[in-house]
Amino acid sequence: MHQITDMVQSQVIASIKKPEDIDKAIHSQANITFLLIGDLMSTGDYIKRLKQAGKKIFLHMDFIDGLANSHSALRFIAEKWKPDGIITTKSGLIKSAREEGLMTIQRIFLIDHSGLDKGIEIAHKCNPDAIEVLPGIMPVIIDKLTQKTHLPIISGGLISTKQDILQGLRAGALAISTGNPKLWNLDL
């Protein structure tokens, strides 16, 4: 199985939040996409289109309408839709996703120091391929995270400028996810 660090060609990840952004992601420099939209009827088509364009796809389990957070849902995703991996806030899904051959990203929302410590503890127990931390405009916290874990850090949330991206990368993030299509073509 690939490591996520081997997948990253562009350090900007296209975080797709609207159907009309699928084509923007397809034509962007971002080689990794986070799919945060869809339902049981549309998601398979979105994944197919992104794969045909050579994009790596991580499906956010918590945002797909009609999809249960269960092992059988993960088996369906792995066998029928075939994304490269999943993103989830639910650490219990990480093990099931790995059993189905999917790469995993544990999404963590940081609101205080105890959240930081708890997030790292949870991530080390479920051992995802990477951690996505939100909000992403916290270079000091990103630096602390890279010192506390061996897991690659992806930073996202509230990223609105090239400067936000560069600060996160300088702090040690592997890549930055953003829902702003204007930032998907930075040469990083």
C-alpha closest to that of 48 among 38, 62, 103: 38
Looking at residue 35, what is its pLDDT?
A: 98
pTM of the model: 0.93
Q: What is the pLDDT of residues 63-80, one digit of tens each?
A: 999 988 889 999 999 999
pLDDT tens sequence across 55-67: 999 999 999 999 8
For the chain, the average pLDDT equals 94
pLDDT at 60: 96
**Domains and their CATH numbers in the chain:** 4-183 (3.20.20.70)
What is the tens place of the pLDDT at every residue in 88-100?
999 999 999 999 9
Q: Quick one: which of 58, 117, 145, 162 has its CA closest to 176?
A: 162
Residue 85 has pLDDT above 90, yes or no: yes
